[in-house]
A = this chain, B = another copy of it.
Amino acid sequence: MSTKSAARPGGRSARVQQAVHEAVRGLDGELARERLTVPLIAERAGVTPSTIYRRWGCLRELLADVAAQRLQPEAPLAQTGSLAGDLFAWTQEYMEEMTSTPGRQVLADVLGSTHQERRTRCWQWQRDQLSLLLERAASRGEAPLPGVEQLLDGVMAPLIYRLSYAPHTLDEARLRHWIRQTLDEAVAAPSAARGET
């Protein structure tokens, strides 16, 4: 579709997309955000502005597209030997990255997109990561385990909520608190009780 990653993999489309994304990432680091313009990006990427406008619509959507890719997990997830440890390692890194000024910008860019679909995709990635951690824990024989939804609501939600609205209130202690609390709940009320995925 419109802003899909690659209409024809390996073709010109893909090359243009990559050049533009790279130009954005490059320029974003070099100059203040308000100086970032489509014509500027186009020049750096070696394309004409109209190409960008036709594919992405506007600067906002282009930035959201680039930012969304940055939210995509690439690191293979640490294996600490326990669900609590894995969770902490992952969310802590996430927090670290997103409390930085550029990190918050990434979050804001994604939220700034008009397309709900894009945000939902990011959410899905987070969900998948958590599922993976749960699977690993299950295969290690850990029990009882919380459901994915419990982890989303109990750990990710407070984290993202505070990142967006009150980043200065975040610290590792809170993170640990949310994780411990969510895991404790799972002990008190086995996850099978609610029909989670």
A contact set with B: CB distance below 8 Å: 33-34, 104, 108, 111-112, 114, 116, 119-120, 122-123, 152-153, 156-158, 160-162, 164-168, 178, 181, 185
Among B116, B122, B157, B165, contact of A119 (Cβ-Cβ < 8 Å): B165
Contacting residues, chain B, for A156 (C-beta < 8 A) = 161
State the CA gap A165–B162 with chains docked (Å).
15
Q: Out of B114, B120, B158, B167, which one reaches A166, CB within 8 Å?
A: B120
| Measured CA separation A164–B163 after assembly (Å) | 13
Number of copies: 2
Contact B166 A162 (CB under 8 A): no
* Given contact pairs A112-B112, A185-B181, A161 touches B165 in the complex (Cβ within 8 A): no
Whether A119 contacts B178 by the Cβ 8 Å rule is: no
On chain B, the residues within 8 Å of A166 by CB distance are 119-120, 123
Asked if B167 and A161 make an inter-chain contact with CB atoms under 8 angstroms apart, the answer reads no
- Judged by DSSP, the binding face of A is helix
With A108-B114, A111-B164, A157-B162 already in contact, 9 other A-B pairs whose C-beta atoms are closer than 8 Å: A108-B112, A111-B111, A119-B165, A119-B166, A120-B166, A152-B161, A160-B164, A160-B165, A181-B185
Question: Nearest-CB distance from A165 to chain B (Å)?
Answer: 4
Chain B nearest CB: distance from A94 CB in Å? 14
Distance, CA A14 to CA B73, complexed state (A): 47
Instruction: Contacts A153-B178, A181-B185, A185-B181 given; indicate if A33 touches B114 (C-beta within 8 A).
Output: yes
Residues on B with C-beta less than 8 A from A157 are 153, 157-158, 160-162
> Which residues of chain B come closer than 8 Å to A120, judged between CB atoms?
165-166, 168
Alpha-carbon gap, A121 to B116, bound state (A): 25
Q: Is the CB of A165 within 8 A of B104?
A: no
Residues from chain B with a CB closer than 8 A to the CB of A34 are 114
Task: Closest B residue to A119 by CB, please name it.
Answer: B165
With A and B bound together, what is the CA distance between A197 and B156 in angstroms? 23
